[in-house]
Amino acid sequence: MKFTALPACPRFVSCAATVMAIACAHFAHAAPQQQQLADRARQVAEQMALCPIKAMPASLDAGFVAPQTDVKFEATLLNTLDRPVKCVRSAPSCTCTTVDMLGKEIPAGGTLKVPLSMRTSGATGEKSAQVVLMFDGVPGLVELSIKAEVTYPVRGIQLSVGADGKQRRDPFINAFDNKANVTGEITVESIDGKSFRIMSVGGAAPVFVDYNPAEQGPRESYRVRYDFSSLPCERVPKYLVIETDRADARLIDMRVRHECTKISANFGFAQYRENVGVMAPGATKVFEVEIKHANGVRIDSVTSTDPRVDAKLLDQKSGAEDGLLVRVSVTARADATGMVLTPLRFVGVGPDPKRPVPAGQPAATMPRESDFLIYLKIEAPVPQLQAKPVTDATPKEVPAAVRTAVLAPASIPTDARVNAEKITTLGAPNVPSRVIQPLPVILRIADRAEDVPMDAARFAAAKMAVSKGLAFMRATQGPNGGWMESTAAKATDQSKPSAAVPNAVTALALKAFAQAGFPAKTDINARKALAFVTAGTQVAGAFQPDLGGGLANYVASMVLMGLAAQQDPALAMEMETVRTWLVKNQWDQSQGISPNADWFGGAGYGSHGRPDLSNTQLMLDALHDAGVSTDDPAVQRALVFVQRTQNVKSNDASWAQHGNADGGFAYTAANGGESFASEVAGEGRYGEKMPPETRALRSYGSMTYAGFKSLLYAGLAPNDPRVTAAFDWIRSHWTFTENPGLGSQGLYYYLHAAARALNASGAISVTVINDAAQAGTQEKASETPGNNGSARNWRNDMTDALLASQRADGSWVNSADRWQEGQPELVTLYALLALEEVLKPVTQSQ
């Protein structure tokens, strides 16, 4: 969006005069555009300098953003006066901008946070918006601004030489200023470094330069020829439409500037085309067209000029700044196919768009019609994968030798590292006689929206968010190939910080890069990360995840996940080494721990660390990713520990017997049990502030998803009472904006665990309960208003939550910095891995 200059004005004492000057600027046409922009910027800066209200910051450059997304920005306004001031004018530059400031008061010497958002359109290119704020009785103004480069992950450019002799990368074909460009070549490239194929250009087969698609694989960049020289004037396209095989960039366009492609609309469209995308025959899509300076404009009909597409006017309503928002539907005919590039004809009444009528003045209107361009591809959808319930999986018998290995009592004394006095003796564990194999391990995200049961627009936005997040990770990679290279941190209850944090975080990054299609074999950042992890976990030629520190199990689990995600047979020996270490680290009979001890089957921090569900679920994540079977003895031992952390009456631990049997999970069963949710609720982490005869532990979100997932990874069927109890807790605490029971603490750890768990469940949607009876005596952490009994697409909900919290630089961070969630590198990886679970394709077994 371009803005014209403010007319010359004195240093205003009244803000009202400034408002008038800005309003007049919309109709100024005398100066060249660049000079207008420069003049406007200078005059706004002068007015902001006069104003005693200061913005910190006043602007945001969001970089690359996807079409049809909300760019969010929060400014802080500081009142430098010794009296309060009230906002008397809030003037957004376009209907795409939302801000709520009118009538708000800033106290003397105080501050006020101002959330601002800009909705990007379906058109690509530079997008910017401003909001001018004025305050009662003070000079000058405050301008808040957002700008972004709206683009798909694939874009077209044309290289040219500017008047200054420097090479330019124009996002359009300029055959107007340079007549020779009626024929030439363009470059089509991905902005996230991911390979793709070009399927068509202008509806025809692409003509490549130095590339043979029959002999060569996908690339990140192509040079493609075009030729308009033989076309009659009316057939020169206004936009060159390029089709790719990327689900998040199926269709993109380049404006063709040519003497035959001038756009002169009789209505003041904010943009002149809409990318409708790919449609199935018979399908309908709805979009909104904005008409600017629409005083006196009324649209009576919208029709298609192509017989393959029907268009319909749905409704129209007033927008900001005298705009009109027109909602239109387009429907592909049932027998239609192919690429469509066609005008929609808007018919109605209105003033001359070159001489718009100011708001509040009577409009001299007359019948008018104007064309608005749309483009789309009509194609029959690829047959959907048939969803089958996971309960169709055939159970298999757990070998007798495995059950014996799990249930056998310890034959040696308890390990000297363990304080045996703290161990609680429980009843004999419940080891299943039959298990089912979980869903196949998938370690790559989908390329096509139709392979994932979620909204296609969200699929594209989620893919873009992953690209931005990985770009942030690339930018913050340390000189040695790791992330958080100088960070040390204390694990829970550990006495000294561990220097192994970078190894754990970098191993997670290995997985995030590989699942997005950037394994170490082909990606330089991932290759450096793999070398960093390998060097950091080797001591004298042996695997040592955290020599003398408390994070050994975390590091080993994340290393195994990172290695498994590479899908590289050359790493099989390294994977087996790490798997063996993890199994030996598990508390079992080999350390003198019998199956009836509350430590049995778990994994914990450090060499003396009592086991907990967080460590144990990460171990199971790693074994699952590495393809370890559900009937493996290590998995079944872990199941013994996991089920003892569940708040159900079948758990014979005293805290569970006293509890509300809500089906959720606590932090650990060891040493009598612990729960951070009990700590937050004021009952003590160990429940020690409750009367001994009623001592219970509270369930909470991150551990319940961890426990639910672990039950599935251990082969329990979806109709097992322990599984259904956990799932009911999840359904009655449905939220992705907080960690139920802990609020913001551990939020992104929670989201990652939730995404893995819900993917493992095979669920497409989740029917939310939000019934107070489900919560028993424990208050629920959160409710989703209006969702009681509704079926929620968990992928859509998860995507919305993560997109809303992604920062402009592509990162995520938690304002509650407990458990290292104040570190953007770690939190960004949690968010990326959660989104990648969302984006993984649904398999036949689902």
Summarised one tens digit per residue, pLDDT across range 202-219 is 989 999 999 988 777 788
Q: What is the model's pLDDT at position 830?
A: 98
Most confident of 367-371, 484-488, 606-610, 751-755: 751-755
**91, pLDDT greater than 50:** yes
Identify whether the C-beta of residue 764 lies closer than 8 Å to the C-beta of residue 387: yes
- Higher per-residue pLDDT: 560 or 653: 560
pLDDT class of 779 with cuts at 50, 70, 90: very low
CA distance 825 to 151: 25
**Amino acid 771: pLDDT:** 43
225 by DSSP, 3-state: which? strand
Q: How many CB atoms lie within 10 A of CB 688?
A: 13
> CB of 573 within 8 A of CB of 641?
no
* pLDDT, tens only, 118-141: 888 766 777 888 899 999 999 999
Report d(CA 510, CA 563) in Å as an integer. 8
Asked whether residue 285 is domain-assigned, the answer is no
Last residue of a domain, one of 99, 130, 150: 150
For residue 57, whether the previous peptide bond is cis, meaning omega lies within 30 degrees of 0, is yes
Indicate if the alpha-carbon torsion angle 698, 704, 706, 707 is positive or negative. positive
**Is 294 domain-assigned?**
no
What confidence tens digit (pLDDT) does each residue in 479-523 have?
A: 999 999 887 766 666 556 677 899 999 999 999 999 999 999 999
Q: Look up the CATH number of the domain holding residue 750.
A: 1.50.10.20
Which residue matches tokens 């569940």? 646
Q: Is 516 left (phi over 0), alpha (psi -120 to 50) or beta?
A: alpha
Could you tell me how many residues make up the chain? 846
Mean pLDDT score, 138-153: 90
C-alpha 585: how far from chain center: 35
Residue 26 is predicted with a pLDDT of: 34
Query: How far apart are the C-alpha atoms of 439 and 755, rounded to whole Å?
Result: 14
Residue in 561, 482, 555, 454 with CA at minimum distance from that of residue 514 = 561
The number of distinct structural domains making up the chain is 2
Number of H helices, E strands in the chain: 18, 33
DSSP 131-196: EEEEETT-SS-EEEEEEEEE--SEEEEEEEE-TTS-EEEESEEE-SS-GGGGEEEEEEEESSS--B
Secondary structure in 3-state letters for 789-813: CCEEEHHHHHHHHHHHHCCCCCCCC
Instruction: Answer whether residue 338 is part of any domain.
Output: no
Q: How confident is the model at residue 784 (pLDDT cuts 50, 70, 90)?
A: very low
pLDDT band, very low/low/confident/very high, at 4 (cuts 50, 70, 90): very low
Write down the pLDDT at residue 536. 92
pLDDT at 369: 92
d(CA 91, CA 135): 12
pLDDT at 20: 34
| Inside any domain, residue 202 | no
- For residues 463 and 153, is the Cβ–Cβ distance under 8 A? yes
In a domain, 311, yes or no: no
What predicted TM-score, i.e. pTM, was given to this entire model? 0.59
Residue 749 has pLDDT above 90, yes or no: yes
pLDDT of residue 428: 83
CB 288 within 8 A of CB 326: yes
Mean pLDDT in residue range 260-264: 88
Burial 815-836 (b: 16+ CB within 10 A, else e): ebeebbbebbbbbbbbbbbbbb
Q: Is the pLDDT of residue 10 over 80?
A: no
Evaluate if residue 15 carries a pLDDT over 70.
Answer: no
Positive or negative, the CA dihedral 642, 574, 533, 607 is positive
Q: What mean pLDDT comes out for the span 267-277?
A: 89
On whether the CB atoms of residues 821 and 749 are closer than 8 A, the answer is yes
Lowest-pLDDT range of 58-67, 563-572, 626-635, 784-793: 784-793
pLDDT digits (tens, 9 = 90+) for 294-304: 878 899 999 99
Domain boundaries, position 592:
390-409+424-839
Place of tokens 């209105």: 350
332 lies in some domain: no
**According to the model, what pLDDT value does residue 560 have?**
97
Q: Give yes or no for residue 632 having a pLDDT over 70.
A: yes
Structure tokens that stand for 120 in this block = 């990007």
Q: What does the alpha-carbon distance between residue 577 and residue 583 come to, in Å, rounded to a whole number? A: 10
Q: What percent of the chain shows pLDDT beyond 70? A: 88
Q: Identify the domain boundary among 150, 168, 189.
A: 150
Q: Are 753 and 742 in contact (CB under 8 A)?
A: no
Q: Which region among 117-126, 161-170, 329-338 has the lowest average model confidence (pLDDT)?
A: 117-126
DSSP symbol at 522: T
Please answer whether residues 830 and 751 qualify as being in contact, where contact means their C-beta atoms are separated by less than 8 angstroms: yes
**E strands in 454-610:** 538-539, 542-543, 603-604
State yes or no: pLDDT of 32 exceeds 70: no
The CATH number covering residue 112 comes to: 2.60.40.10
CA distance 791 to 799: 16
In a domain, 441, yes or no: yes
Residues 354-398 have pLDDT tens digits of 776 666 666 667 888 999 999 999 988 644 333 333 444 678 888
The one-letter amino acid code at 762 reads G
Query: End of a domain among 86, 121, 150?
Result: 150
Residue 148 vs residues 65, 93, 288, 474, 667: alpha-carbon distances, Å? 7, 15, 20, 20, 43
Does residue 306 lie within any of the structural domains?
no
Q: How confident is the model at residue 429 (pLDDT cuts 50, 70, 90)?
A: confident
148-174 per-residue burial string, b: 16 or more CB within 10 A, e: under 16: bbbbbbbbbbbebeeeeeeeeebbbbb
Q: What is the mean pLDDT of the chain?
A: 85
Give the bridge partners for 539, in sequence order: 542
Asked whether the beta carbons of 665 and 438 are under 8 A apart, the reply is no
Q: How high is the pLDDT of residue 39?
A: 83
Using pLDDT thresholds of 50, 70 and 90, give the confidence band for residue 561.
Answer: very high
Query: What type of residue is 776?
Result: G
Q: Tell me: pLDDT of 251 over 60.
A: yes
